[in-house]
Chains A and B, each alone.
Chain A
Amino acid sequence: MTSAKNIRIAIQKQGRLQDPSLNFIRSLGFEFKKEQLGELIIQCTNAPVEILFVRNIDIPEYIKAGVADFGIVGENIIYERGERYNIIKRLGFGKCKLIIASPRESSLRTIENLQDERIATSYTKSLQDFLRQNNINASIIEINGSVEITPKLGLSDAICDIVQTGNTLKTYELEPIATIFESEAVFIESPYYNKKKNIILERIQYGNSKTC
Chain B
Amino acid sequence: MTKKTNKIIEPKILRGTRDFLPEEMARRNLVQQKITSVFERFGYDCIDTPAIEYAETLLGKYGDEGSKQLYRFKDNGGRDIVLRFDQTVPFARVVAANYSQLPMPFKRYQISKVWRADKPAKGRYREFTQCDIDIIGTKNLLAETEIAKAMLAVFEKLGFKEFIIKINSRRLINSILDSLMVKQEDQPAVMCALDKFNKIGRAGVIEEMKLICDEKTIENILDATLLTGTNSEKVEKLEKYDIQEVKNFLRLCSQAGISETFLEFDPSLVRGLDYYTGIIYEVYVNGVDIGAVCAGGRYDDLCGLFTQEEFSGVGVAFGFDRIVVAMETLGLLNDVRLNSEVLVIYFDEETLPKSLEVWNQLQSTGIDTEIYFEPAKLQKQFAYANKKKIRFVVLCGPDEVKENAITIKNMDTGKQKTIPQSQLDSYFKGYTNL
- Chain A residues in the interface with B (C-beta under 8 A): 115-118, 128, 131-132, 136-142, 154-155
Q: How far is the CA of A70 from the CA of B302 in the complex (A)?
A: 55
B415 near A141: Cβ-Cβ < 8 Å = no
Give every chain B residue within 8 A of A138 (Cβ-Cβ).
431-432
Cβ-defined partner of B415 (8 Å) among A115, A128, A131, A155: A115
Give every chain A residue within 8 A of B428 (Cβ-Cβ).
139
List 29 A–B pairs whose Cβ atoms lie within 8 Å, in order of A's numbering: A115-B410, A115-B413, A115-B415, A116-B408, A116-B410, A116-B415, A116-B417, A118-B419, A118-B427, A118-B430, A128-B432, A131-B432, A132-B432, A132-B433, A137-B431, A137-B432, A137-B433, A138-B431, A139-B426, A139-B427, A139-B430, A139-B431, A139-B432, A140-B430, A140-B432, A141-B426, A141-B430, A142-B430, A155-B423
From residue A82, how far is it (CB to closest CB) to chain B in Å? 15
Q: How far is the CA of A211 from the CA of B430 in the complex (A)?
A: 55
Q: Is B420 part of the contact surface with A, judged by Cβ < 8 Å?
A: yes
Give every chain B residue within 8 A of A118 (Cβ-Cβ).
419, 423, 427, 430
Q: How far is the CA of A60 from the CA of B433 in the complex (A)?
A: 27
Q: How far is the CA of A131 from the CA of B431 in the complex (A)?
A: 11
From residue B335, how far is it (CB to closest CB) to chain A in Å? 12
From residue B15, how far is it (CB to closest CB) to chain A in Å? 44
- Chain B residues in the interface with A (C-beta under 8 A): 408, 410, 413, 415, 417, 419-420, 423, 426-428, 430-433
Q: How far is the CA of A11 from the CA of B102 in the complex (A)?
A: 53
User: Taking CB as reference atom, which chain B residue is nearest A137?
Assistant: B432
Give every chain A residue within 8 A of B423 (Cβ-Cβ).
118, 155
Known: A138-B432, A139-B430. 16 other contacts (CB 8 A): A115-B410, A116-B408, A116-B410, A118-B423, A118-B427, A118-B430, A128-B432, A131-B432, A137-B431, A137-B432, A137-B433, A139-B428, A140-B430, A140-B431, A141-B426, A155-B423
Q: How far is the CA of A137 from the CA of B430 in the complex (A)?
A: 10
From residue A108, how far is it (CB to closest CB) to chain B in Å? 12
Q: How far is the CA of A70 from the CA of B433 in the complex (A)?
A: 36
Q: How far is the CA of A155 from the CA of B419 in the complex (A)?
A: 9
Give every chain A residue within 8 A of B419 (Cβ-Cβ).
118
B413 near A116: Cβ-Cβ < 8 Å = yes
Give every chain A residue within 8 A of B408 (Cβ-Cβ).
116
Q: How far is the CA of A116 from the CA of B391 in the complex (A)?
A: 11
From residue B404, how far is it (CB to closest CB) to chain A in Å? 12
Q: How far is the CA of A139 from the CA of B415 in the complex (A)?
A: 13
From residue B390, how far is it (CB to closest CB) to chain A in Å? 15
Give every chain A residue within 8 A of B432 (Cβ-Cβ).
128, 131-132, 136-140
User: Taking CB as reference atom, which chain A residue is nearest B409?
Assistant: A116
Q: How far is the CA of A154 from the CA of B410 in the complex (A)?
A: 20
Q: How far is the CA of A96 from the CA of B83 in the complex (A)?
A: 68
Give every chain A residue within 8 A of B415 (Cβ-Cβ).
115-116
From residue A188, how far is it (CB to closest CB) to chain B in Å? 24
From residue A27, how far is it (CB to closest CB) to chain B in Å? 40
> Among A116, A136, A138, A154, which residue has the most Cβ atoms of chain B within 10 A?
A116
Q: How far is the CA of A158 from the CA of B423 in the complex (A)?
A: 15
Q: How far is the CA of A128 from the CA of B433 in the complex (A)?
A: 9
Q: How far is the CA of A142 from the CA of B429 in the complex (A)?
A: 10
Q: How far is the CA of A154 from the CA of B215 in the complex (A)?
A: 84
User: Taking CB as reference atom, which chain B residue is nearest A141?
Assistant: B430
Give every chain B residue within 8 A of A117 (Cβ-Cβ).
417
Q: How far is the CA of A116 from the CA of B412 in the complex (A)?
A: 11
Give every chain B residue within 8 A of A131 (Cβ-Cβ).
432
B420 near A154: Cβ-Cβ < 8 Å = yes
From residue B146, how far is it (CB to closest CB) to chain A in Å? 26
Q: How far is the CA of A142 from the CA of B427 in the complex (A)?
A: 11
From residue B431, how far is it (CB to closest CB) to chain A in Å? 5
User: Taking CB as reference atom, which chain B residue is nearest A128?
Assistant: B432
From residue A66, how far is it (CB to closest CB) to chain B in Å? 20
From residue B412, how far is it (CB to closest CB) to chain A in Å? 9
From residue B367, how far is it (CB to closest CB) to chain A in Å? 12
Give every chain B residue within 8 A of A142 (Cβ-Cβ).
430
From residue B372, how far is it (CB to closest CB) to chain A in Å? 21
Q: How far is the CA of A117 from the CA of B427 in the complex (A)?
A: 9
Give every chain B residue within 8 A of A140 (Cβ-Cβ).
430-432
